[in-house]
Amino acid sequence: METYGGRRSQAERDAITVEIGYALCSALFAAAVLFGAVAGPALLFELPRAVELLLLRGGLVLAPLLFVARVVSVLVRFRREGAQPSQPGRTSPDS
């Protein structure tokens, strides 16, 4: 996706937009599942107050961390994959 000072094509801009959307949606889903798995028992069952607080706070801390990690990992992987040569059938020496 490097154009060496030039402008990006519409296809490249579209690919970036789609990848950002995918990163955000998949991160939101993963964070929601993690929050549900960690804090869900505290919301569904009668547990001791200390355990409920621990589970809720754990979910509130871990879910945003997972969200950020997922977005960053998807976008870094997309940037790395865009560095492949444009000629079909050829790969870079390090792949």
d(CA 84, CA 89): 11
The confidence score (pLDDT) of residue 95 equals 53
pLDDT tens track for 64-93: 999 999 999 999 998 877 655 555 666 666
Total-model pTM:
0.72
Q: Which residues contact 22 (CB under 8 A, 6 or more apart)?
A: 74
Give the model's confidence band at 3: pLDDT under 50 very low, under 70 low, under 90 confident, else very high. low
d(CA 73, CA 21): 14
By the 8 A CB rule, do 80 and 41 touch?
no
- Mean pLDDT over each residue of the chain, to the nearest integer: 86
pLDDT at 30 over 70: yes
Amino acid at 61: V
d(CA 23, CA 49): 36
Q: Per-residue pLDDT averaged across 13-24, rounded?
A: 91
